Amino acid sequence: MPIAQGSCPGCGTLIEFGLGASMARVCDTCHTTVVRSDRGLQDLGKVAALADTPSPIAVGDQGTLAGRPLEVLGRVQLDYGLGPWDEYYVSFDSGMQWGWLAYAQGRWYATTLVPNLTAPPRQDLSVDRDYALSIGTFSVVEVRSAKIVSAEGELPNPIKAGTLRYYADAYGPRGAFATFDYDDGTGPSSVYSGWIFSDAQLSVTKLGPRTARKVKTSLLQCPNCGGEVPKLHDGRSERLGCPYCGAISDIPTRTVVAQQEKLLQMPDIPIGNTGIFESISYTCLAYIRRSTHSEDELYQWEEYLLFNPSEGYRWLVKDPETGWSWTTFVNPADIDRSILPDRIRHANQTYVQRNRSLARVDYVLGEVYWKCSIGETVSVMDFACGNEVISRELDTEEVNYSQSRIVSWPKIAAAFELPVSGPGGTGIPAGGGVIRGAVGCGTIAVIVVLIVILVVVLAVAASSGGGGSTGPVFIGGGSSYRGGGSYSGGK
Ligand SMILES: [Zn+2]
Ligand SMILES: [Zn+2]
């Protein structure tokens, strides 16, 4: 039952509002944004056609999020330059509450407006900083402005296509999440808070009408060579590295974005294979080669992107020095970053900075969830404690933390049913490898002090004409990167 209705001022079509909180609606027929007011329905101008996005859900869908009834009422498309992403306007509990839902990094982010709470001043914001609010302390992971590109369906507020929206995303303890919303930057700010959910926690029980030109298929076709590969992550992936011709293409727009050589050697873990780790089944979606330059040396390693609907994304990283490691995201809100850049603390352990580098993407094969490109770089800091490493990937607008631990090739081979004697066991230290300098964390601190002294001594020697070099400092693998991707979905 609509709570309000009237004729579209643009084309005369019947316009209905299903939720009391909806102040605007984009006309399905003429794409005019129609605003409810005391004087009836007002015309706010037309929005552009919606862009194709991976969009796992659609306006009109009904289902549950962690058991809570949900209906998708509208969608806003935003873009900060890498391609549009979707934020869905949803009602919870059959219209009792409304909020926003977005998909990023293999997870759902659901938020609702916190009444009477303003966000920290925008000029005070920076990524990787904590902000204490009345609802808890939140660690900011992303600060951006994005352009509102288009919209459809009902909306809580009138939107004007083409305007900028300023926002920051932040994590709280135990899977809490918040968006600081500065709107167009001129008015008061607001805070939306909520939780992060796994893919498996969202269940769509009734499909709405699909407005996008979506052809349901189980294959992805490379727009460069026409080759087809099985679709591994339906409605989630942004880019494809083609196994036949090497082209990287944008999946939603089916355009070629980069050329790379065809991969001559099969990855150690074939894309599409499924492996079982700790009783959880992960599908290998992509193979990525990354590198860092230090002095004159190029250091390369390989990363495999894995996915499970309940767990989200994981990485298996093959590093020629440290062997294989298993990498997961870490919530920065669970990390004490007050002693950065030297150390961090996580789960009562101190991690000491081991190295910092610029990591570059050199090669991509398979499906990835962000708008990745060859040559994209991110600044990485690795912190080690015993055989575990926490990596921090940072640029001015976004930060990500991930944790890696050593895993042996025979364990990976067994999980993916690959031969232990296969290529995955070559090119790495015998015995599966250990994180370099794997000793007690206290010892590491002492060693770091010694290294610092050594570096200072060498630097003094160098500046006095000695010309000494401290040698290359390498990233030890184990990085989660979302690659600054729009997969970031604004979240
Ligand atoms: Zn209309
Ligand atoms: Zn191709």
**pLDDT tens-digit profile of 47-59?**
999 988 888 899 9
Is 451 or 305 the better-scoring residue by pLDDT?
305
Task: Tell me how far the alpha carbon of residue 243 lies from the centroid of ligand 2, in angstroms.
Answer: 7
Check pLDDT > 60 for residue 358. yes
> Which pLDDT value is given to residue 295?
80
Domain count within the chain:
2
Is 295 or 408 the better-scoring residue by pLDDT?
408
> Which pLDDT value is given to residue 428?
85
Check pLDDT > 70 for residue 362. yes
Same domain, 50 and 156: yes
pLDDT-derived band at 21, boundaries 50, 70, 90 = very high
Contact 325, 316 (CB under 8 A): yes
- Those residues with Cβ within 8 angstroms of residue 404's Cβ, 6 or more apart along the chain or in another chain: 317, 325, 326, 327, 388, 389, 390, 391, 476, 477, 478
Task: Tell me how far the alpha carbon of residue 77 lies from the centroid of ligand 2, in angstroms.
Answer: 29
pLDDT-derived band at 217, boundaries 50, 70, 90 = confident
Listed in order, strand segments (DSSP E) in 93-224 are 97-104, 107-113, 130-133, 136-155, 164-171, 176-181, 190-198, 202-206, 219-221
Same domain, 262 and 117: no
Mean per-residue pLDDT, 430-457 = 50
Same domain, 134 and 61: yes
Same domain, 171 and 294: no
> Which pLDDT value is given to residue 456?
53
> Which pLDDT value is given to residue 54?
85
pLDDT-derived band at 197, boundaries 50, 70, 90 = very high
Q: What is the rounded average pLDDT for all residues in the chain?
A: 87
Query: Who surrounds ion ligand 1 at CB < 5 A?
Result: 8, 10-11, 13, 27, 29-30, 32
Same domain, 231 and 188: no
The answer to whether position 452 is within a domain reads no
Q: Of 184, 206, 228, which one is at a domain's C-terminal end? A: 206
Q: What is the pLDDT of residues 61-75, one digit of tens each?
A: 999 999 999 999 999
pLDDT-derived band at 466, boundaries 50, 70, 90 = very low
The answer to whether position 449 is within a domain reads no
Q: Of 160, 179, 206, which one is at a domain's C-terminal end? A: 206
Mean per-residue pLDDT, 317-342 = 94
The answer to whether position 446 is within a domain reads no
Task: Tell me how far the alpha carbon of residue 39 lies from the centroid of ligand 1, in angstroms.
Answer: 18
Check pLDDT > 80 for residue 420. yes
Same domain, 34 and 63: yes
Query: Who surrounds ion ligand 2 at CB < 5 A?
Result: 222, 224-225, 227, 242, 244-245, 247
The structure tokens listed for 451 are: 């290294």
Check pLDDT > 50 for residue 439. no
> Which pLDDT value is given to residue 476?
28
Same domain, 77 and 139: yes
Same domain, 188 and 327: no
pLDDT-derived band at 216, boundaries 50, 70, 90 = low
Least confidently predicted of 199-213, 258-272, 299-313, 344-358: 199-213
Same domain, 412 and 286: yes
- Supply the range of the domain harboring residue 140: 4-206
- Those residues with Cβ within 8 angstroms of residue 485's Cβ, 6 or more apart along the chain or in another chain: 82, 238, 368, 369, 370, 371, 372
The structure tokens listed for 54 are: 């991976």
Task: Tell me how far the alpha carbon of residue 372 lies from the centroid of ligand 2, in angstroms.
Answer: 17
Task: Tell me how far the alpha carbon of residue 88 lies from the centroid of ligand 1, in angstroms.
Answer: 21
Check pLDDT > 50 for residue 470. no
Q: Which helix (H) or strand (E) holds 442?
A: helix 441-461
pLDDT-derived band at 472, boundaries 50, 70, 90 = very low
